[in-house]
Structure 1
Amino acid sequence: MDLRTRPYRSVLYIPASKERALEKARALPIDAIIFDLEDAVSPSEKTAARDTLAEALSRPYGNRTRIVRINGFDTEWGEADARAAAVMDCDAILLPKVETTEQLDALAALTDKPLWSMMETPAGMLAANQIAAHPRLAGMVMGTNDLAKELNSRFRADRLPMLTGLGLCVLAAKAHGVTIVDGVYNAFKDDEGLQAECVQGRDMGMDGKTLIHPAQVAIANAAFAPGSDEIDLARRQIDAFEEAAKAGQGVAVVDGKIVENLHVETARKMLAKAEAIAALAE
């Protein structure tokens, strides 16, 4: 399955230094894992964490996409992380705090693997289009905690302070065919709040959500997967449009609403996503 078209409903952060967490992740029903060498690993453990992660990745993680988040090149660990990740059995390398295409160029010079970028600063938001257009970029991850810090914004359930940045990154990702995953929800015991934020992200066009705890997985998986009613409508739209086309008509009507080519294209994409989700469980 192509890295850009596979599901990313649930993307769980796992500290690269924690052997127990690395092992537990193999059994979780998640679409992707971000193996974190950056924020989740203390400075004293960063060097050893590379070896711990390399050993863990030498064994299968099933159909889950394996993404390694390295430290930035402005730190003493960044370049060594990149060189180590380049030879690990992972699917992509995630660079933190990307603000310029030159940062991605520096990483691309050290690896042939697909690149992902953390979008977590005001400068990153303003450069989202150029970043998404980078020829090696396959995915973007919203770093909303860091963005909130940089904005000096207050927490709001509606994420009003975040909406401009989130929107700019969604537009850039969709313009260039790049996967985009929403930021984390910190209150991992607040199911209602997580549900609301997942629905908001899905409605905006996000492909999935980054998670900080396994307890959040089921809610994210459900929110970012097509529902049975959506799948049923998609099938009926396709069937109706095909019947209309046979009769020489350019539009159809389903449930009292016009169905055109663009609706059929959306319906086909939805069915393809549902099939890809089902394939992950095989």
Structure 2
Amino acid sequence: MPSEIASLTLPLFVPGDRADRFAKAAAAGPDAVIVDLEDAVAPEAKQPARAALAEGLSTMPTGMPVLLRINAAGTQWHEADLAAAARLPLAAVLLPKAESADDLRRVAGRCGCPVVALIETAAGLHRAVEIAGASARLAFGSIDFAADLAMGHTRQSLLAARSTLVMAARLAGQPAPIDGVTTAIHDAERIADDCAHAVELGFSGKLLIHPAQIAPARRGFAPTQAEIDWAARVLAATKDGAATRVDGAMVDAPVIRRAGQIMARRPAPAERSDTCP
């Protein structure tokens, strides 16, 4: 799997029929841009949007990973989306309503690139381990999932589903999954808190719907200064790998591993002034 998909943390959606926004989305500083041919594009606009993709993507800066969210298998637009994707320089295709490993393998074969499976239904969650094994990464379409089950879109109601996806990714040997969107655009505190909650559950990314969400999302995924200080003390005290005590608590191999994971989540030096307390 390409490292750009494995390490993807904050991809930003942009409507597929707004080619004028592709480069602007990339310039906002996400980890990748997801050009959306599904929910963001009205049925009558899908064909023109598809036809303009190559020209629109030519404006993207070099090195910015681009994913294409196609329409779901079984829809009237799916086959044309696959044909278009096969002609584009994509980092991955995002398949919505993913419910079948066979669909994932078929899409990957047709498009010639990795496929990220967007789990948005009860059937998709039920087959999450199977789907994870046939895809490059899992992502959670939490709003569609809540609608599919006629449930609230709350942390409590979605806890079991989120935990199931994290477990499925781990069993498949995948990177941790990407969490669903936060609908609030300018509520920085909520966005950061939602991302911290995602980290707590074992997610390593978040789908974003507006450039204003990028900075608070990065803060939410970065460890706090207290976590960094604790991890540094643990690693300094256990250089020989032996069990010891730090801050009055026993530290052994799993705790050392946790400390290493926290340190790995620190933002790059150029970003730290904006992301760390």
The amino acid that maps onto 2:152 is R
**Which residue in 1 is equivalent to 2:203?**
206
Unaligned runs of 5+ in 1: none
The structural deviation recorded for 1:149 is 0.9
Pick closer, same or farther for the CA change 1:233–1:53 going to 2, 3 Å.
farther
Per-residue CA deviations over 1:114-144 (Å, capped at 9, x if unaligned) read 110110001111111111122xx22111111
Q: How high is the TM-score relative to the length of structure 1?
A: 0.87
Q: Distance in 1 between matches of 2:190 and 2:160?
A: 21
The structural deviation recorded for 1:46 is 1.0
Q: Do 1:126 and 1:168's aligned partners in 2 also have CA atoms closer than 8 Å?
A: no
The structural deviation recorded for 1:279 is 8.4
SS of aligned partner of 1:99: coil
Kindly report which structure 2 residues correspond to 1:217-232, keeping only aligned pairs within 5 A, or say none. 217-232=214-229
**Which residue in 2 is equivalent to 1:83?**
83
**Which residue in 2 is equivalent to 1:181?**
178
Question: Kindly, what percent of the aligned residue pairs are identical?
Answer: 35
Unaligned runs of 5+ in 2: 273-277
Pick closer, same or farther for the CA change 1:237–1:86 going to 2, 3 Å.
farther
**Which residue in 2 is equivalent to 1:11?**
11
Kindly report which structure 2 residues correspond to 1:192-203, keeping only aligned pairs within 5 A, or say none. 192-203=189-200
Q: Distance in 2 between matches of 1:50 and 1:223?
A: 34
Q: Alpha carbon RMSD of aligned pairs, Å?
A: 2.3
Q: Do 2:132 and 2:169's aligned partners in 1 also have CA atoms closer than 8 Å?
A: yes
Kindly report which structure 2 residues correspond to 1:1-282, keeping only aligned pairs within 5 A, or say none. 2-8=3-9, 10-61=10-61, 63-134=63-134, 137-156=135-154, 159-176=155-172, 177-243=174-240, 245=241, 250-274=242-266, 277=268
How many residues are aligned here? 270
Per-residue CA deviations over 1:145-169 (Å, capped at 9, x if unaligned) read 111111111344xx22211211111
The structural deviation recorded for 1:13 is 1.0
Q: How high is the TM-score relative to the length of structure 2?
A: 0.88
Pick closer, same or farther for the CA change 1:252–1:4 going to 2, 3 Å.
farther
SS of aligned partner of 2:111: coil
Per-residue CA deviations over 1:66-110 (Å, capped at 9, x if unaligned) read 211111221122122122112312211111101111111221220
SS of aligned partner of 1:61: coil
